[in-house]
Amino acid sequence: MSYLRTAILLAGLTALFMGVGYLIGGASGAMIALVVAAGTNLFAYWNSDRMVLSMYGAHEVDARTAPDLHRLVADLAARAGLPMPRVFLMDNPQPNAFATGRNPQNAAVAVTTGLVQSLNREELSGVVAHELAHIKHHDTLLMTITATIAGAISMLAQFGMFFGGNRNNNGTGIIGSIAMMILAPLGAALVQMAISRTREYAADEMGARICGQPMWLASALAKIDNAAHQVPNMEAERAPATAHMFIINPLSGQGMDNLFATHPSTQNRIAALQRLTSQFGGGGFAPPPSAPRDGSGSPWGGAARPRGPWG
């Protein structure tokens, strides 16, 4: 049902985009708007991952520079039946993560230094599994397309304000243009956010199945949500349009599922994971991922927290 809802919302976003084009230039305006959107999306299809990773100063790590993190991602990707994604680390104190890439063969998982320093291995497994679920569901491409169309709608609405649409510039035309400039971007943002929230619930469930324990992810979500209210993410503040990509809203961490939230309520997500645990008897879905050990009893080579080779 979530896939059907996503398709309906995406269709509504596309229709809204073409509607704005029609108001500006009639039937020909709608077609021109569609062509422009196609070109913009084509560019985003090939370059969006590099753009967003560069925006957050992410640097790629491998089995040599971050062996524990790289091994964990490899274990979970194999369990999910996915190709090994590229792994990136962002030098940011706020614990958070996102996935990007146009398809599973060209995907990347990016985590912050704050994430690997504040979560234990089980919690980090839950977060990485959630991001791999987005890759498996092709959400990374979907969210790029919705963000691009939403941005194009805002641009067209402003263009229509300046040129007064395809009608004469009488009082009604000016009022209609102002209304379009305000309502069209608002409608696009609402649809974009609704799609994002729909996909987050689906990624939580799939991520829980990939890592094997829903409560690992639930515990991680609680920690990240708490930190997001206290530790600023300055890169995200400068580029709020990318906030929907993160596992938790890096801007404010909304407290309820209101129309303007880019993410579902963290409490609601945790409750859904708790129900999932009860549904399967609390025993998980698969054995935990393999973990390197040094004899200390901790897969990180320490008592409780990950340390060392994060790049």
Looking at the annotation, which residues are catalytic?
131
Whether 262 and 254 have beta carbons less than 8 Å apart is answered as yes
C-alpha radius of gyration, the chain, whole number? 21
User: Among 209, 210, 245, which Cα is nearest to 76's?
Assistant: 210
- Tell me the whole-structure pTM to 2 decimals: 0.75
Q: Where are the domains of the chain?
A: 2-279
Rounded CA-CA distance 239/168 in Å is 37
The residues with which 86 forms a beta bridge, in sequence order, are 108
pLDDT (tens digit, 0 to 9) for every residue of the chain, 311 residues total? Answer: 455 655 666 677 677 777 777 777 778 877 877 787 777 777 777 887 888 899 899 999 999 999 999 999 999 999 999 999 999 999 999 999 999 998 999 999 999 999 999 999 999 999 999 999 999 998 887 776 766 666 667 666 666 655 554 444 444 455 555 666 666 666 666 666 666 777 899 999 999 999 999 999 999 999 999 998 889 899 888 877 788 889 998 985 444 444 456 788 899 999 999 999 887 665 445 444 444 333 333 333 333 343 333 44
In angstroms, how far is CA 193 from the centroid of its own chain? 11
CA distance to 16, 48, 108, 304, per residue, from 196 (Å): 18, 17, 19, 33
